[in-house]
Every structure is written in C-alpha cells, then in structure tokens.
Amino acid sequence: MRIKTPVYLTFGTALCLYLAAAGRNGYSLVKTFSPSRLLPHSPATQHK
C-alpha cells in the first residue's frame, strides 16, 4: 500500500505519541508554554 501523505502520517503518529506521553505526564497542548520560574527570594521561603 502506497502512502501518499507521508507528512500527515508522521504528524499523526507524533501527535498520538504526544497524547500518550501527555496522558502519563500531565502535559497540556494549550499550556505547553505556561509560565514558570525559579524563586530565589520568594515569600514562600520566608514562611518556611
């Protein structure tokens, strides 16, 4: 069988693999770039 859409095949496979990984690790497509930072002087440290 000839695959006429190799790019789509690759894309779909990658997307399915991503969903499987996201299902396990709680990734989100929407929040792929959700903000995070390190907090050297956070108030949290003051309350520890």
List residues near another protein by CB under 8 A: 2-5, 8-9, 11-13, 15-16, 18-20, 22-32, 34-40, 42-45, 47-48
**How many CA atoms lie less than 13 Å away from 34 in the CB half-sphere?**
7
Q: How near is the Cβ of 13 to another protein at its closest, in Å?
A: 8
DSSP 8-state symbol, 2: -
- Least distance in angstroms from the C-beta of 46 to another protein: 8
- Please report how close the Cβ of residue 33 comes to another protein at its closest, in angstroms: 10
Tokens, residue 40: 């050297």
